[in-house]
Chain A
Amino acid sequence: MSLLDIRGLTMKFGGLVAVKDFTVSIDAHELVGLIGPNGAGKTTVFNLVTGMHAPVAGTIEFQGRRIQGMRPWRVYALGIARTFQNIRLFGMLSVLDNVRVADHHRGEAGLVHSILRSPKFRHEEKRTTDRALELLSILGLDQRRDELARNLPYGEQRRLEIARALVSDPKLLLLDEPAAGMNPSEVGQLMELILSIKERFNLTVFLIEHQMKVVMGVCERVVVMEFGEIICTGKPEQVQCDPKVVEAYLGVQAEESQQ
C-alpha cells in the first residue's frame, strides 16, 4: 500500500485553477521529485498535502487516512514534515529552540508542569533537548546552538530548517526547493545530505526542485506539472526525453544554459 495517495486533487484561488485533477501515489521509502515551470502549482500541492489549504476537490490519503482539509499541526503530528521555499525559521529563537519547538507536540508536560518545574517537565525537557542536539550535530549545526536563527548564514538556515523538520521523526518529508540559492558545491553536499537522511531516518521524500542536477541526481521518480496539471510521470531519464516536458520546461532551460 502506498504511503501517500493523492487523487483528483483540485485547488482554485478565485478564478484561477492552481491545481487540477492532480493524482499521484508515493510508496514508502521512495524519493519523488516534483518539477515544472514557475507557477505550475507545485508549492500549492505541498500546501494542500500539509493542510495549509483545503482543496476544492479530491482526496489525500496518508497511511490510509484521509487528511485533506486537516489543520497543518494535525497533519504534522501524523508524520508529514516540510521545509519552505522561502526559509521560514523562528528568527528570534535560538538554533536549538527552533528544533525543540518542532518537538513540542509530543510533549505531555503542559502548563502546570512547566510552571512548577516538575520532574516530568525536567525529564521531557532533557529528552527533547538531547534529541534536538542529536539532529543539530547530524546537520553540522551543533556549534551554532545558541545563535539566533536569523543570524545564521543562508546555507545553515536551510540545514536548520531540515533539522527542524526531522526532529519529530516524520515518515514523509516534503522539501520545497532545498537547493534554491546554493552554489554547485553546496548543491553537491545537499544531495548527499538528502540521500543520507533518507536512509538514516527511513524517510519517504517528496521534493520540489528547479536545479536539474538535484532532480536527476537523487530522484527515483519525477512528476512534471504545467499549469496545475500533471503532464508526465516517470524515471528521471524518461522524463527528460519526453517531448511534452522538453517543450514545457527542460527545453527552455537547456537553451538558456547553452548560451
Chain B
Amino acid sequence: MTGTRRRLSPGWLALIVTVLAYAALQTLMSTKVINPYWQQVAGLAGIMAVSALGLNLVYGYTGQFSLGHAAFYGIGAYASALVTRSLGPSIWTLLLGIAAGAVIAGLVAFLIGLPILRLRSDYLAIATLGFGIIMKVLFDNSDAVIPMMGGSAGMTGIARLTNFAWVFVFALGATVVLRNLVFSSVGRALVSVREDELAAEAVGINTTKYKTLGFTLGCMYAGVAGALYAHLYAYLNPFNFDFLKSIDVLLVVVLGGLGSISGTLVAAVAWTFLLEGLRVALPASIQDWRMVIYPLVMVVFMIFRPGGLFSGTEFGFLKPRSARRRT
C-alpha cells in the first residue's frame, strides 16, 4: 500500500462486478424471468461452490485426499436444522444454525483428523471413506436417539429460510476468506505440506498442525454448505449425504483444478447447471443418456486437461497484488 496508487485494484473491481451481477440476477429472479426451479438450481450451485472450496482446501491445497466430505456436509445440515427446528425459524436462529453447522462439522473433523491424518494418500482416502459410511449409518438410525431427525425416512419440518441471496453472500464470503488464506504465510505452509511433507518439516512447518488446520477448515466449509442446503431444500434425507455425494464434490474440485479457487467456482456452477440443464435440454427419449454424458465429460476432461480447467492458476482478480506476476 505505497501512497501513490489510488486506482481500483482488480480485486475490488471484481467485487463490484460481482455485486452488479448479483443485482441483475436478483432482479431477474424477483420478476420471475428466472423461475423458482432455476432459482433453486442457482442456489444449489452456490452451495456446491462453498462445499467444493472446502474440499479444495483439504485436497487441492493441503494435499489430504478425503472421500468423506459429504459426511461433514450432512453434519452441518442436520446440526443447523436441529437448531432452527428447536428454537423456531428466524434469521437469527438460521445464523446460529449455520454457525453451529460449521462449528460441529469442524469439531468432528478436528477429532477424527487427529488420528487419521497420520495416514497418507490412499490410506487416508479409505479412512475418510469409512468415516463417511459410519456417518451415513448414523443419519439412517438417528431417529432412535433424536426422533426429530427422522432417520432413514428423512427429516422434515425444516423452515425454508435461505434463498439464492443467502447462498450468494455465503459463497462470496467463502471465496474471499479462502483467497486471503491461500495467499498468506499460512497458505504457503499448507501447500508445502502437500508438496513435500518431509521438506516442510525440515523448514519449520509443524505438518501435523497444518494438516489438521486445513482439514478442519475445509470441513467447516462443508458444514456451512450443508446448513445452507438444509434451509434451501427444507428436507434432509441420509441418502443425500452418502459416499456418492462426496464423489460429486471431488469431481468438481478435480475438474476445476486442484489448488484453484477460480476453477472450483467455475466447475461448481458449470457442473450443477450441466446436470440440470441436460434434464431440460435433452428430449425425453434420450433422457437416460444423461448418465452416459456426465462420465464421458469426466473421461474426456481427464485425458485432455488432467490439471482441470485452471490447473492451479487463478483469475487475475483473485490474486493479491504481491502474487500477480510482474510485467
Residues in chain A within 8 A of chain B (CB atoms): 50-52, 71-73, 76-77, 81-82, 84, 88-93, 97, 100-105, 107, 109-111, 114-117, 121-122, 124-125, 128-129, 146, 164-165, 168
B187 touches A114 (CB 8 A): yes
- Expressed in whole angstroms, the minimum distance between the Cβ of B211 and any Cβ of chain A is 13
Which of A84, A109, A111, A121 has the most chain B CB within a 10 Å cutoff?
Answer: A111
Cβ of A117: which chain B residues have Cβ within 8 Å of it? Answer: 180
Cβ of A116: which chain B residues have Cβ within 8 Å of it? Answer: 180
- Expressed in whole angstroms, the minimum distance between the Cβ of A44 and any Cβ of chain B is 14
Bound-state CA distance A104–B207 (Å) is 12
A50 touches B202 (CB 8 A): yes
What 3 A-B pairs have minimum CB-CB distances, sorted nearest first?
A: A105-B204, A114-B184, A102-B203
Among B196, B206, B312, which residue has its beta carbon within 8 angstroms of that of A90?
B196
Cβ of B198: which chain A residues have Cβ within 8 Å of it? Answer: 52, 72, 88
Cβ of B201: which chain A residues have Cβ within 8 Å of it? Answer: 51-52, 71-73, 76
Bound-state CA distance A124–B322 (Å) is 13
Bound-state CA distance A81–B204 (Å) is 9
B191 touches A93 (CB 8 A): yes
Question: Could you name 8 residue pairs across A and B whose Cβ atoms are closer than 8 Å?
Answer: A88-B202, A90-B199, A90-B200, A97-B188, A114-B185, A117-B180, A129-B322, A165-B203
Residues in chain B within 8 A of chain A (CB atoms): 1, 177, 180-181, 184-189, 191-192, 194-196, 198-207, 213, 259, 312, 322, 325-326
Q: Please give 13 more A-B residue pairs, beta carbons under 8 A apart, in addition to A73-B204, A101-B189, A101-B191.
A: A72-B202, A73-B207, A84-B199, A84-B202, A88-B202, A89-B199, A92-B195, A104-B186, A109-B185, A114-B181, A114-B185, A114-B186, A117-B180
Cβ of A110: which chain B residues have Cβ within 8 Å of it? Answer: 186
A102 touches B204 (CB 8 A): yes
Closest A residue to B209 by beta carbon equals: A73
Cβ of A107: which chain B residues have Cβ within 8 Å of it? Answer: 185
Cβ of A97: which chain B residues have Cβ within 8 Å of it? Answer: 188, 191
A52 touches B202 (CB 8 A): yes
Bound-state CA distance A124–B57 (Å) is 23
Among B184, B203, B205, B325, which residue has its beta carbon within 8 angstroms of that of A125?
B184
A77 touches B195 (CB 8 A): no
